[in-house]
Amino acid sequence: MVRTILIWAGFAVAAWAAAVLTLVFVGRRTAAMELATLLPNLVHLFRGLTKDPRVSLGSKLWLWFAVAWFVSPIDLVPEFIPVLGPLDDAVVAALVLRPRHALAAPAATAET
């Protein structure tokens, strides 16, 4: 099970890197930089929020759902499609974070 998750996570990272390189190749450097920083920023934010005691258990469960979605091989748009592949992950992150920001301690989100 863990091996399968790691393989799919590696596949997702490779697709993400391919999408960034595709954007650089077609001359969309700003979009490439935004996409390149999306995943590391989300990892940092989610790690900080899941460890913060001010964030409710319900919000933490939603954050873990989003993490499971990111590493899951099941996506609305396959990861190997450049630019659109990581888009469903960004949409899930936004849908999970928006109400969590309103319910969680705003200071916790600002600090992470």
How far apart are the C-alpha atoms of 89 and 15, rounded to whole Å? 12
pLDDT beneath 70, residues of the chain: 1-2, 5, 9, 73, 75, 79-80, 82-83, 85-86, 99-112
**Residue entry with tokens 């899941």:** 50
Give 15-30 pLDDT, tens digit per residue: 778 877 888 888 878 8
Task: Give the angle 25-31-79 at the CA atoms, nearest 5°.
Answer: 80
pLDDT at site 42:
79
